[in-house]
Amino acid sequence: MNKKIFIFDTTLRDGEQSPGASLTSKQKLDIAFQLERLGVDIIEAGFPIASPGDKEAVFMIAKNITNCQVAGLARARREDIDACIESLKPLKKRDLARIHTFIATSNIHIKYKLKMSKEDVIATAVNAVKYAKRFTSNIEFSCEDAGRSEIDFLCKIVEEAIKAGATTINIPETVGYTLPQEYGSLFKELVNRVPNIDKCILSTHCHNDLGLAVANSISAILNGARQVECTINGIGERAGNASLEEVVMILKTRKDYFDKFYTDINTKEIYPTSKLVSNLTGIVVQPNKAIVGANAFKHESGIHQDGVLKKRQTYEIMSAKDVGVPSNELVLGKHSGRHALDKRLKQLGYSLDKKISNKIFYKFKQLCDKKKYVFDEDIFALVNEEVGKSEGKLELKYFHISSGSGILPTATIELEIKHGQKTKCFRQADFGDGPIDAAYKAIDKIICEMLNICVTPKLVDYSLKAISSGKDAQGEVVVKLEYNKTTFTGRGISTDVVEASIKAYVCALNNFILNKKMYKGVKIHL
Ligand code: KIV
Ligand code: ZN
């Protein structure tokens, strides 16, 4: 009998715990829509008790997602579960709402963190599952740090959680310590020793501290796990979580070995999803990353190139097309019309609403004036910039830069600010170490004037890369700003790197302004 592997995506919860990642609710919703297109079974949308922003994001996702289950995380406490219930209420069908509750089960966590007896840990878990069960039948219980827990205790608590009503039991490898064989044996023991184990789906959740998250997840599948918790691009706490694209492509590419297992993932959506997540979180994908890295399907050596030209399979075990990597062939240009762009967008896997596709067409036409060839990569960038944009209060209206050898770089910037029904333009000029520094200083002056604050968010990271080939390739800039220990990411693209830098800075500031917590009580001066 064929066995479905359920894909539980935790990009928006564990993934968002990556250092430096911080997403607005709107950005989380955009990612959730893409995960729905990708075909994940469950979206873990957040940890509602953790912050009002998380609660709002889970609520928005529960309201708008129709084709997957939506999960919220809760410690084994009533207040956490109540926050989950509130956030998951908008889901059309109650059993699509999953409450994911957890408590630690390893001796080290029980003794030093929880300071509880083992009996109390079991009682707390059972009470939490029963409490959550009043709202939905769909309850997941996780044994935090299961990888380092004693097997007898693990068997006991799992049995009790299932008796209390848990329908999914997750066995997290929280600290990324165990080896694939050890982790697989844990599942085997649970399957053999827990009498009611057939009443639940066993789940794996692995962290990548020793680079074993994917190998451990696969080992768990081979020993009874039917749900894999994973993230896009493998982002997550510390060294990250098991990467969704790697797990899915292992099962698909090695069908000969995993003949009975399948997932419902539409693999052609993998690459667009990876791009979107990287763009919105600002977490760059390493070029040699399996499946989605820039070099994953490139052949440098002459022998390899020769082999691939003669027969692709000589050096390629899967095809780039299958994971949605654009062919990078020349597609569109100055003479392409609306119809051609819409068709290409569809081929690339995008189904955009009219408002957004109108904007993208307008930008595409502007780009064609600056750039002779428009590649798929350019189209991805246009879409991601537009989709990832916060409903900006600030918009760049004008910039002028003066720079060169022997002169002081200066910048004049004009930003338009929308607030309620009102709109106003602010203009400032400044000089700096270079044209970008001068522009950022001028923008900072505008922000200080507008928000009546003395200190603007600090620039902590700046990166620039070319997104397609050719002399007229567009530059893509990602900036990270920090304010009160919170990071705000912005991205900008243009054929002019100064313009891309200014757009990225304005985008990050929009995210800062959108985060109401940050400027609460501050009056915008119009
Ligand atoms: O790594 C972990 O243990 C977790 C749990 C909360 C599931 O993320
Ligand atoms: Zn985790």
Which DSSP string corresponds to 324-354? T-------B-TT--HHHHHHHHHHTT----H
Rg (CA), the chain: 25
Q: What is the pLDDT of residue 108?
A: 98
pTM assigned to the model: 0.82
Distance from the alpha carbon of residue 394 to the mean position of ligand 1, in angstroms: 38
Strand partners, 204: 171, 228
Q: Are 272 and 321 in contact (CB under 8 A)?
A: no
Q: What is the pLDDT of residue 7?
A: 98
Nearest CA to ligand 1 atom 5: 144
Q: What single string gives the DSSP state of each residue in 8-76?
A: EE-TTTTGGGSTT----HHHHHHHHHHHHHHT-SEEEEE-GGG-HHHHHHHHHHHHH--SSEEEEEEES
Q: What is the pLDDT of residue 389?
A: 59
Closest CA to 141 of 85, 188, 98, 190: 98
**Pocket lining: 231 vs ligand 1, CB cutoff 6 Å:** no
- How far apart (Å, rounded) are the C-alpha atoms in residues 103 and 109? 9
Task: Tell me what percent of the chain is helix, strand and coil, each rounded to the nearest 5.
Answer: 45, 20, 35
The secondary element (H helix, E strand) that includes residue 163 is: helix 151-164
Q: What is the pLDDT of residue 522?
A: 52
Ligand 1: atom nearest CA of 241 is 1
Phi, psi of 141 (to 5 degrees): -120, 130
Q: What single string gives the DSSP state of each residue in 57-76?
A: HHHHHHHH--SSEEEEEEES
- How far apart (Å, rounded) are the C-alpha atoms in residues 476 and 497? 8
**Pocket lining: 205 vs ligand 1, CB cutoff 6 Å:** yes
**Pocket lining: 172 vs ligand 1, CB cutoff 6 Å:** yes
3-state secondary structure of 525: coil
Distance from the alpha carbon of residue 523 to the mean position of ligand 2, in angstroms: 39
Sequence-ordered list of residues with C-beta below 8 angstroms from that of 104, at least 6 positions apart, any chain: 110, 113, 114, 121, 143, 144, 145
- How far apart (Å, rounded) are the C-alpha atoms in residues 342 and 358? 10
Closest CA to 184 of 169, 173, 193, 195: 173
Q: Are 216 and 257 in contact (CB under 8 A)?
A: no
3-state secondary structure of 464: strand
**Edge-to-edge strands, sheet with 394-402:** 394-402, 410-419, 422-431
Which of 144, 228, 229 most suits a substitution to test ligand 1, by most atoms within 8 Å of the C-beta?
Answer: 144
Counting every residue written for the chain, the total comes to 526
Print pLDDT tens along the chain (526 aa). Answer: 779 999 999 999 999 888 767 788 888 998 999 999 999 999 999 999 998 889 999 999 999 999 999 999 999 999 999 999 999 999 999 999 999 999 999 999 999 999 999 999 999 999 999 999 999 999 999 999 999 999 999 999 999 999 999 999 999 999 999 999 999 999 999 999 999 999 999 999 999 999 999 999 999 999 999 999 999 999 999 999 999 999 999 999 999 999 999 999 999 999 999 988 988 888 889 999 999 998 898 877 777 777 878 888 888 899 999 999 876 555 688 888 888 888 888 766 677 778 888 889 998 998 888 887 788 778 877 887 776 555 567 889 999 999 999 899 999 999 998 777 778 899 999 999 999 999 999 999 999 888 777 788 999 999 898 877 777 788 889 899 988 878 888 888 888 999 999 999 998 898 888 775 555 545 566 5
Ligand 1: atom nearest CA of 172 is 3
Which three-class secondary structure string do you get for 382-420?
Answer: HHHHHHCCCCCCEEEEEEEEECCCCCCCEEEEEEEEEEC
**Pocket lining: 16 vs ligand 1, CB cutoff 6 Å:** no
**Pocket lining: 102 vs ligand 1, CB cutoff 6 Å:** yes
* Inter-axis angle of helices 270-281 and 376-387, nearest 10: 50
Q: What is the pLDDT of residue 312?
A: 83
Strand partners, 168: 140, 201
Q: What is the pLDDT of residue 303?
A: 79
Q: What is the pLDDT of residue 329?
A: 54
Distance from the alpha carbon of residue 206 to the mean position of ligand 2, in angstroms: 7
Q: What is the pLDDT of residue 145?
A: 98
Q: Are 145 and 104 in contact (CB under 8 A)?
A: yes
Ligand 1: atom nearest CA of 102 is 6
